[in-house]
A and B are shown apart, each in its own frame.
Chain A
Amino acid sequence: MPIQTRCDDDGQTLVIRIEGRFDFSTHQAFRDAYEHNDPDIRNYTVDLSDTTYLDSSALGMLLLLRDYAGGDSARIVIENCNNDVRRILSISNFEQLFNIR
């Protein structure tokens, strides 16, 4: 399974971990990962430590997650990006919308 989810210790943070390519083929799996979850979830962490590639449809999916998580009030952290992935996120200036670290 290229996408794994777990709840962090506090039970309020959903960690979504994507392995390999994050592109249109992961669309459904990514949505399934955050929809129908525990109503206590307040924060989201997208862990990209094993993500090798990210394309513009992945950026779109991140926007969908942001919308789902409350739009401007969403609390989403994107972490452990490799250089290529980081570069794609910053060309699109996604740090204005997400907490990238």
Chain B
Amino acid sequence: MDDSTASYNGPLRILIADDSDSDRLILKTLLTRLGHEVLDVANGLDAVSTFQREAPDLVLLDALMPIMDGMEAARQIRLLAGERLVPLIFLTSLSEAGALAHCLDAGGDDFLGKPYNRIIIEAKIKAFNRMRLMHQALSDQRDLIRERNRQLTEEQEIAKRVFDNVAHSGCLDASNIRYHASPQSIFNGDVLFASPRPAGGMLVFVGDFTGHGLPAAIGAMPIAEIFYGMVNKGFNGQDVLREINQKLKRILPTGMFCCGAMIEADFKLNQIQIWNGGLPDGWLIRPSGAHLALPSRHLPLGILSPDQFNAELERVVAGPGDRVLMMTDGFLESADRDGRVFGEKGVMETLDQLGADDHPFDAMMSAIHQLTGNPEDGDDLTLFCLEMAAEGGLATLPDRVEPSALAGPAEWRCTYEIRGQTLGEFSPLPLLLHICMEVPGLRRKSGEIYTLLAELYNNALEHGILALPSEWKHSPEGFGRYYQERNRRLLDVEGHYIRFTLQHSLKPEGGRLCVVCEDSGPGFDFQSYLSTAPDSAAASNRRYAGRGLGLLSRLAETIRFHGQGNHVEIVYKWQLARTAEKRDD
């Protein structure tokens, strides 16, 4: 409250009720001389109606009056005044303590003895006016705070809706995903993103920002942007992690960071790759109930500079029915009434008791429910479960861009070659996919295009240049060996290259994309592959060094080998009619 209001002693509107005409006149004259505006009545009933009509600042009431006495009038005036503080002073010649106390019980604030003393009257009116103004200021401030708070809550609710749309998004409704994110009245710092990858499989990010509320929520926005943007363009988990870390390092103040885990699930190779930085142990749970910890091996995101950051994901073999369980620390910190927390012990016990038919997600949720009584009470907590599944039943990548009515580039050709050490450090796939996606007709085929490019590239690199036998990948031991050897051989690729030549042209019925992939490896005996009918038993047994040729020939119009087999040419066609159809719906 500011001083000018507190000391404000301007004229007041004062109501006097007294049945004695002479007393009333004396008081009225006195108060008028002090500069106040005076309303006077002769009984309680008139006092109440005048109060209602004129809303005076202060009321002086004779205790004993005809028709309605001062006590009753005081009660009614109090009711009418509601939240407004209107000082009520009794005028009385009574001096007996009980009678005076009775006046105050009826709602009076003070009393003035008759005969009147001008100095006392003036002082009391000033004092009560100060109180009235203070009350007024407090009420005004309370109303202001209430209003601000209402606005803030409303803004937060809207912001929270935006946040929820961003923070828990993607293909979280896929049939192989189960998750629980604590509904909170305000933001929490947990995020959960999942997206199918253009070449198949799924990428999932679970994150937990330090702190709560708006600061934590704001960090989630750029991460969501990076995650979905990059996954759609075909980047892998490692690339996305590097970008997220770099971004957070730049935008978050020191002391704020994001614990997180990236899970890249490949349903074709039956493997997951995981990176865990600061989240509690994740778990890989086999259908039998056997489980394997996926511990945090890295610092959280947003702490290390890009050159110190290690984004390498760990590979784990995971077949159909295997499940990956991740949680944020709010889950472990869930506690019962006495403060006993669920903790890692709770997780371990639940996992150990898991029967073959139990879904680990349900088991965890019911364990936490038993402990807390109500899991909704918890802190920010997220529990997430991904099941390895056959690809077919899963959500596919939505059409990201409606085919534009504007024609993109139609006639073009480009060659892109990566050489030497770059082969081990850089994937050209996002770039090549990006170039192809400039053609509107190819855009909704991004998954197929990516698969074609990825198969060609991986064949060229892993089998062509690194000469890795893919049979290794069919046993768990060989699997580890395969990737170990891959990393080792990548160190020695000096003088090698992979060259992509992409050529696109428009046809009356659509378009034609020709992709040529050449590598510096020794090639392979494609003649004998081609002489074996693709559906014969011999072909399926041999799986031709896993070169994914079956997949390529299914997607491409034609596939041809040149040279020693280290020069592959595929032709992919798209139809104009289909895009037109798409545009209509």
Contact B255 A93 (CB under 8 A): no
Contact A56 B254 (CB under 8 A): no
Q: Pick from A61, A64, A97: contact of B299, CB below 8 A.
A: A97
Contact at A63–B298, with CB atoms within 8 Å? no
Contact with B along A68-95 (1 / 0, CB 8 A): 0000000000000000000100011110
Query: Of A67, A91, A92, which is within 8 A of B254 by CB?
Result: A67
Chain A residues within 8 Å of B256, by CB: 60
Q: Would you call A92 and B210 a contact (CB within 8 A)?
A: no
Q: Is A7 an interface residue (CB 8 A)?
A: no
Distance from A87 Cβ to chain B, minimum over Cβ atoms (Å)? 8
Q: In the bound complex, do residue B259 and residue A56 qualify as a contact, i.e. CB atoms below 8 Å apart?
A: yes
Q: Using Cβ atoms and an 8 Å threshold, which residues of chain A touch B257?
A: 59-60, 63
- Cβ of A96 < 8 Å from any Cβ of B? yes
Complex contact B254–A93 (CB within 8 A): no
- Bound-state Cα–Cα, A93 to B254, Å: 17
Task: Write out the residue numbers on chain B whose beta carbons fall within 8 Å of the beta carbon of A12.
Answer: none
Q: Would B303 and A63 count as touching, CB distance under 8 A?
A: yes
Q: CA A24 – CA B212 in complex, angstroms?
A: 11
Q: Is the CB of A91 within 8 A of B278?
A: yes
| A92-B255 in contact (CB<8A) | no
- Determine which of B210, B277, B296 lies in contact with A56 in the assembled complex, contact meaning CB atoms within 8 Å: B210
| Residues on the A chain within 8 Å of B208, using CB | 56
Query: What residue of chain B has the Cβ atom nearest to residue A27's Cβ?
Result: B255
Residues of chain B from 287 to 329 with CB closer than 8 A to chain A in the complex: 295-300, 303, 329
Cβ contact within 8 Å between A93 and B210: no
Cα of A97 to Cα of B259 in the assembled complex, Å: 15
Q: State the Cβ distance, A9 to closest chain B Cβ, in Å.
A: 30
* Complex-state Cα separation, A60 to B259, whole angstroms: 12
A99: interface (CB < 8 Å): no
The answer to whether B259 touches A93 (Cβ under 8 A) is no
Interface presence of B87 (CB below 8 A): no
Whether the pair A94, B255 counts as a contact (CB closer than 8 A) is: no
Most chain A CB within 10 A, of B259, B299, B344, is at: B299
B280 within 8 A of A: yes
Which residues in window 490-536 of B have CB below 8 A to A?
none
Min CB–CB distance B152 → chain A (angstroms): 21
Are B255 and A63 closer than 8 Å at their CB atoms? yes
Question: How would residues 222 to 247 of chain B score, 1 for a CB under 8 Å from any chain A CB and 0 otherwise?
Answer: 00000000000000000000000000
Given known pairs A56-B211, A57-B211, A67-B254, the reply for A92 and B259 (CB within 8 Å) is: yes
> B298 — which chain A residues lie within 8 A by C-beta?
93
B329: A residues at CB distance < 8 A: 56, 91
Minimal Cβ-Cβ distance residue in A for B341: A84
**Nearest chain B CB to A18 CB, angstrom units:** 16
* Residue among A59, A61, A94 with the highest chain B CB neighbour number at 10 A: A59
| Interface hub of B208, B280, B297, B300 (most chain A Cβ within 10 A) | B300
Cβ-neighbour of B296 out of A60, A61, A91 (below 8 A): A91
Chain B residue contacts of A67, Cβ below 8 A = 254
Asked if A64 and B254 make an inter-chain contact with CB atoms under 8 angstroms apart, the answer reads yes
Shortest CB-to-CB span from A70 to chain B, Å, is: 13
**Interface pair B254/A97, CB less than 8 Å apart:** no
Give B466-492 interface residues, CB cut-off 8 Å to A: none
* Chain A positions 9-42 with a Cβ under 8 Å from a chain B Cβ: 24
How many angstroms from the CA of A24 to the CA of B210 in the assembled complex?
A: 11
Establish whether residues B210 and A60, one from each chain, have CB atoms under 8 Å apart when the complex forms.
yes
**Once the chains are docked, how many angstroms separate the CA of A94 from the CA of B295?**
14
Most buried by A among B259, B278, B279, B344: B278
Contacts of B210 in A (CB 8 A): 56-57, 59-60
User: Whole-angstrom distance between the alpha carbons of A91 and B332 in the complex?
Assistant: 13
B residues less than 8 Å from A96 (CB atoms)? 299
Cβ-closest chain B residue relative to A95 = B299
* B211 and A93 contacting across the interface, CB-CB below 8 Å: no
| B299→A92 contact, CB < 8 A | yes
Chain A contacts for B278, CB-based, 8 A: 91-93
Chain A residues whose CB sits within 8 angstroms of the CB of B296 once the complex forms: 91-93
Contact residues in B for A97 (Cβ distance below 8 Å): 299, 303
Write out the residue numbers on chain B whose beta carbons fall within 8 Å of the beta carbon of A91.
278-280, 295-296, 329
The 30 listed contacts between A and B (C-beta, < 8 Å) are A56-B208, A56-B210, A56-B259, A57-B210, A57-B255, A59-B210, A59-B257, A60-B211, A60-B256, A63-B254, A63-B303, A64-B254, A64-B255, A87-B344, A91-B278, A91-B279, A91-B280, A91-B329, A92-B278, A92-B296, A92-B300, A93-B277, A93-B278, A93-B296, A93-B297, A93-B298, A93-B299, A96-B299, A97-B299, A97-B303
B interface residues with partner A (beta carbon < 8 Å): 208, 210-211, 254-257, 259, 277-280, 295-300, 303, 329, 344
* Given A63-B255, A63-B303, A97-B303, 8 more pairs with CB closer than 8 A: A24-B211, A59-B210, A60-B256, A63-B257, A91-B295, A92-B278, A93-B277, A93-B299
Q: Which 5 A-B pairs have the closest CB atoms?
A: A60-B255, A92-B278, A56-B210, A64-B255, A67-B254
